[in-house]
Homo-oligomer: A and B are copies of this chain.
Amino acid sequence: MNNRTVRLAKRPSGLPGPDTWTIADEPAPAPAEGEVLVEVKAISLDPAMRGWLDEGKSYIPPVGLGEVMRASGAGVVLASRDPRFAPGDAVMGGLGVQRLACVRGRDIEPIDLSVAPFERWLGVLGIAGMTAWFGLFDVGAVQPGETVVVSAAAGAVGGLVVQLARRHGCRVVGIAGGPGKCRLVTERYGADACIDHRAGPVRPALAAAVPGGIQVYFDNVGGEILEAAMTLLARRARVVICGAISGYNDFASIRGPRNYLNLLVQRARMEGFVVFDYAARYPEARAGIADGLADGSITAVEDVRDGLDRFPEVLTELYTGGNFGKLVLRP
């Protein structure tokens, strides 16, 4: 079997386009001592990917020109030179956007396909799930009975935040783009309400949905939606900064929330986090989420696409709002 890879050809300005990437067949790699050859079955597409394409200091180094695009993935071991893995094992880790990945055994972990299929290990049981869990419970320090608002609530992280908060006994209001996504958020994820940010100004609709103010605002988008939520903070509110999809393709246009002084008026805090800091505690979050999947209180919505060559177009849907739930590519 040949490999097929998606490599970074050119750093994009704005949305990545077809010329951002080189897609080509390559010989299958051979594992060195300590390495494992994995056939990739599912590739995770994440909003953070856009940030990895820009030069400059961030929470992880950028993807280098000519390198295989960084991505979480899940697959099956074909050959192993690490005693912990054998052909046929199901694993996940940083496999990249390619068909065959040669990675160090210490950089991957086994997954149990009897618990969930490949794509779910990249969604609610993967980085998106860990992000929702630690952002809501640790950074947001959410308590039962509080009002939680989540933006990008139909997305992989937001959708799980809605469900975890509801399961924790909170009143939950989502914000999403379009009636279809809002139905997903209320009907399948169980939010008490969902504001369609394409239907009109967010602030009045949100104000009506949170009469007592917001205790935890989980922000995935930044921009005007962040500002709208910040006008409605309750006393000692927590604003969890998870990302800023609205600004990812044009960093120069990012502006801070003009009403940040409301943090003072409401004695509130705004806090950022990076999920990788919680790696040692992933098993705790995975166990909690798996319980919810087993008892039906958590629904995993995955948007699975086929074809490695479609990576460039599918990736852009994350930023234009085309996906429903966790976006996964089968190469």
Residues of A within 8 A of B (CB): 57-59, 222, 227, 241-244, 247, 254-274, 277
* Residue from B258, B269, B271 within 8 A of A254 (CB atoms): B258
| A269 and B270 in contact, given A256-B256, A256-B259 (Cβ under 8 angstroms) | yes
* Residue from B58, B257, B262, B269 within 8 A of A271 (CB atoms): B269
Q: Bound state CA distance, A243 and B261, in angstroms?
A: 8
Q: Bound state CA distance, A244 and B271, in angstroms?
A: 19
A267 near B261 with CB under 8 A, answer: no
Q: Chain B nearest CB: distance from A15 CB in Å?
A: 18
* Residue from B57, B256, B260, B274 within 8 A of A264 (CB atoms): B274
Q: Chain B nearest CB: distance from A249 CB in Å?
A: 14
The main secondary structure of chain A at its interface with chain B is loop
Minimal Cβ-Cβ distance residue in B for A262: B272
B272 near A222 with CB under 8 A, answer: no
Question: How many copies of the shown chain assemble into the complex?
Answer: 2
Q: Chain B nearest CB: distance from A123 CB in Å?
A: 21
B222 near A261 with CB under 8 A, answer: yes
Closest 3 interchain pairs by CB? A256-B256, A264-B272, A263-B272
B256 near A267 with CB under 8 A, answer: no
B273 near A271 with CB under 8 A, answer: no
A272 near B269 with CB under 8 A, answer: yes
Q: Bound state CA distance, A266 and B258, in angstroms?
A: 21
Residues of B within 8 A of A247 (CB): 261
Interface centre among A222, A243, A260 (most CB of B within 10 A): A260
* Residue from B243, B257, B258, B272 within 8 A of A267 (CB atoms): B272
A254 near B261 with CB under 8 A, answer: yes
Q: Bound state CA distance, A83 and B137, in angstroms?
A: 51
Q: Chain B nearest CB: distance from A248 CB in Å?
A: 10
19 CB-based A-B contacts, threshold 8 Å: A59-B265, A241-B263, A243-B264, A247-B261, A254-B261, A255-B258, A256-B256, A256-B257, A256-B259, A261-B272, A263-B272, A264-B272, A264-B274, A267-B271, A267-B274, A268-B272, A269-B270, A270-B270, A270-B271
Q: Chain B nearest CB: distance from A217 CB in Å?
A: 14
Q: Chain B nearest CB: distance from A44 CB in Å?
A: 19
Minimal Cβ-Cβ distance residue in B for A227: B256
Q: Chain B nearest CB: distance from A302 CB in Å?
A: 26
Q: Chain B nearest CB: distance from A322 CB in Å?
A: 24
Q: Chain B nearest CB: distance from A28 CB in Å?
A: 37
Residues of B within 8 A of A264 (CB): 59, 241-243, 272-274
Residues of B within 8 A of A267 (CB): 271-274, 277
* Residue from B57, B242, B270 within 8 A of A260 (CB atoms): B270
